[in-house]
Amino acid sequence: MPSTIPLSKISEFIPPPSRIPRGLTTEMKGGCKSFSRGSTPCEKVGGFINQEVAIRGWVYNFRSSGSICFLQIRDGSGFTQAIAAKNVVSEKVWQDCEKITLETSVEIIGTVSKHPKREEYELQVKDLSIIQLAEEFPIGKKEHGPDFLLDQRHLWLRVPSQWAIQRVRNTVINATYDYFRQQGFIKIDSPILTPTSCEATTELFEMKYFDLGKAYLSQSGQLYLEAAIFAHGKVFDFGPVFRAEKSKTRRHLTEFWMMDAEMAFYHHEDNMRLQEELVTYIVAQVLERNLNELKILERDIEPLKKIVSPFYRLTHASAVKKLRELGSDIKEDDDLGGDDETLLTQQYDKPIFIEKYPAKVKAFYMKRDPKNPEVVLNNDLLAPEGFGEIIGGSEREDDYQTLLARMKEFNLPVEPFQWYLDLRRYGSVPHSGFGFGLERIVGWLCGIHHVRETIPFPRTISRLTP
C-alpha cells in the first residue's frame, strides 16, 4: 500500500480563513471535513499574485533537481506549476515531493508568482499533502497506439489534448443552447425508445419490447419534433442517437449526440439560412472561449476565422460533376461517399451546402422539388479542410397523400407511422429542419481525424468498453 498523509492532517496545511481569497472558494459541504476551507481553481490563481492560495488536483508531470521539485498540477479548470524548494519546505513535505508519482492527487498551499516571461503563474510551495499516491500510470509520454488509448479511455480523458477536446465540445453544446434560446426555440426532449425508424431501416438497433413486439433505439428525434412544431413553432432536441451502421470509418459511431431542429413555416432556403447562422455562431463562440484548448490541440485557427457567411452552395448534380473532374467515379444518382466528401471539401475554405439530392438516395420524409420531382429540397452541410458532412436537413413533405405514397415506395409499414401521417391532417404547414452530429462538429473544430476522440466514451462496431 502506498503511504499517504491521513486526510485529517490535510487541514493543518490550509491557511487561516483570512488568507483564503474570498469569492473563489469551492465549499465541500458534508464529505471530507478537511476540505471545508476551500481552494482556488488553477485557472484563477493569476488573480492572486503574492498571495497564498490552496489548490487541489493531480500531478500530471514532475521533475526534480535534487533541491527543487517542479510539479505540474491539473485541477480540471486548468494547469499550474508548483515549485517546492528543499530549503523552504519542511522535511516531511520534501520527502513527499520525492515520493510523488504521475497522477498522484495532492493539495498544495503556496504563494502565487508570475512567470518572468510568459503569462503563466506558479505556486511557491509552502505545504503539500498527498491525497492518494498513484500507482504507476499506464499512459506515459511515449507514443501509444489508438487501441491501447481507447482501452484506457477512463484514464486517457485526463491528458491535456483530451481535456481540451471535451472543453470545446462543452462550448459547442452551450453555444447551441444559447443560439436557440436567442432565436425563440423551445427544447423538446424526443424519445429514445421508438416503434419506427427515422432514417435507413438497415441501421436500426432493435430489441424485444415486452408484449408490444419490437422497439428501436432512436436514430434521430426529427419525427417527434415535427409533431412539436404544431404546439411550439420552432423547436430543437439534443441527445444521444443510435445507428447500427456497419461502417468502420473515421466519421461513424454507433452512439452519438445529435441536435435536431424543426421549424414551422420554414422553406428549404430558410432552413439553410438558419444552419449557416448557427454554425457561424458556434465557431465564433469556440474562437472566443477556447483559444487555449485549440493551442493545446495544435489546431490552426486561421481556417476557423474564415467561417463567416455566406457559405458555398452546390447542387448535388454540380457536386457530382466537380467530383468527377477531381477523379471520383461517383455516378449521377449516387449519394456522396466518405472519400467524395474528403475530396470535395479539401477544395474549399468554408462549409459547403450540397442541395437537391436525387429523391431515391434520401429519406422518405423529404419534400420533392416542385421544379424537378426527381430531386428533394434537402441539403447536407459539409465542413471544409476534408472534414465532410456535419449536418443533414430538408424541407418535409407536408401533404398526406404524397407522404403516404413515399412511405409505400420505401416499403415502410403505415400503421406505426399513422401518428406521423396525422400531422398532415390537422393544420399541415410547410416546415423544415435539420440535424447536426455533435462529434462531427467537434472533430472539425478541434482538427481531430477520427470522431471517436470527440465523445467521452466512444461506441463503435468494435468497441463497447470502457
Which of 200/405 has CB closer to Mg ion? 200
> Does residue 458 interact with ligand 4AD by CB under 6 A?
no
Q: How many residues bind Mg ion (CB under 5 A)?
A: 1
Contacts of 34-43 with CB under 8 Å at 24 or more apart are 34/7, 34/8, 34/9, 34/10, 35/10, 35/107, 36/11, 37/11, 39/107, 41/75, 41/76, 41/77, 41/78, 42/73, 42/74, 42/75, 42/77, 42/78, 42/79, 42/80, 43/77, 43/78
283 binds ligand 4AD (CB under 6 A): no
433 binds, among Mg ion, ligand 4AD, none (CB under 5 to 8 A by kind): ligand 4AD
Does the protein bind ligand 4AD through residue 392 (CB under 6 A)? yes
Interacting residue with Mg ion among 392, 433, 435, 443 (CB under 5 A): 392
Cβ-contact 221, 260 below 8 angstroms: yes
Residue 235 main-chain phi, psi, to 5 deg: -135, 160
Q: Tell me if 226 contacts ligand 4AD by CB under 6 A.
A: no
Binding of Mg ion by 437 (CB under 5 A): no
| Number of neighbouring beta carbons within 10 Å of residue 197 | 23
Query: Is the CB of residue 393 less than 8 Å from the CB of residue 385?
Result: no
Is 222 among the residues that bind ligand 4AD (CB under 6 A)? yes
451 residue type, one letter: V
41 binds ligand 4AD (CB under 6 A): no
Comparing CB distances to ligand 4AD, the nearer of 126 and 251 is: 251
User: With respect to Mg ion, which residue has the nearer C-beta, 55 or 354?
Assistant: 354
Name which of 388 and 392 has its Cβ closer to Mg ion. Answer: 392
Length of the chain: 466
100 versus 391: smaller Cβ distance to ligand 4AD: 391
Question: Toward Mg ion, which CB reaches closer, 57 or 388?
Answer: 388
With contacts defined by CB under 5 A, name the span among 40-48, 53-61, 384-392, 443-451 that binds Mg ion.
Answer: 384-392
Question: Looking at 97, 188, 253, 296, which residue binds ligand 4AD (CB under 6 A)?
Answer: 253
Binding span for ligand 4AD by CB under 6 A among 51-59, 290-298, 334-342, 387-395: 387-395
Are the beta carbons of 109 and 126 closer than 8 angstroms? yes
Min dist. Cβ of residue 365 to Mg ion (A)? 13
- Give which of 208, 164, 200 is closest to 410, Cα–Cα: 200
Binding residue (CB under 6 A) for ligand 4AD from 220, 285, 290, 328: 220
Angle between helices 160-182 and 438-446 (to 10 degrees): 120
From first CA to last CA, the distance across the chain in angstroms is: 26
Pick the binder of ligand 4AD from 391, 403, 446, 448 (CB under 6 A): 391
Q: Does 443 bind ligand 4AD (CB under 6 A)?
A: no
Joined together, the cell numbers standing for residue 358 give: 436525387
Give the residue with the Cβ less far from ligand 4AD, 60 or 224: 224
- Minimum gap (Å) between residue 260 Cβ and ligand 4AD: 4
Strand order in the sheet with 214-217: 193-194, 214-217, 206-208
Is 53 a residue that touches ligand 4AD (CB under 6 A)? no
Q: Are strands 255-264 and 372-376 parallel, antiparallel or unpaired?
A: unpaired
Q: Cell numbers of 2, please?
A: 502506498
Binds 393: which of Mg ion, ligand 4AD, none (CB < 5-8 Å by kind): ligand 4AD
Alpha-carbon distance values, 163 to 79, 158, 167 (Å): 11, 6, 6
Measured CA to CA, the distance from residue 219 to residue 235 in angstroms comes to 18
DSSP line for 97-157: HHH--TT-EEEEEEEEEE-SSSS-EEEEEEEEEEEE-PPPPS--SS---HHHHHHTHHHHT
The one among 21, 38, 78, 435 contacting ligand 4AD by CB under 6 A: 435
Q: How many residues bind ligand 4AD (CB under 6 A)?
A: 25
| Cβ contact 58:120 at 8 Å | no
> How many C-beta atoms surround the C-beta of residue 350 within 10 A?
18
- Which span sits near ligand 4AD by CB under 6 A: 118-126, 182-190, 227-235, 433-441? 433-441
Min. distance of Cβ 279 from ligand 4AD in angstroms? 12
| Grid cell in block for residue 297 | 490541440
Stretch of 159-167, 305-313, 404-412, 427-435 lying at the interface with ligand 4AD (CB under 6 A): 427-435
> Which grid cell sits at 365?
420524409
Stretch that binds ligand 4AD, among 310-318, 334-342, 407-415, 431-439 (CB under 6 A): 431-439
Residue ranges in contact with ligand 4AD by CB under 6 A:
198-199, 219-220, 222, 243, 245, 252-253, 256, 258, 260, 389-393, 433-437, 439-440, 451
Residue ranges in contact with Mg ion by CB under 5 A:
392
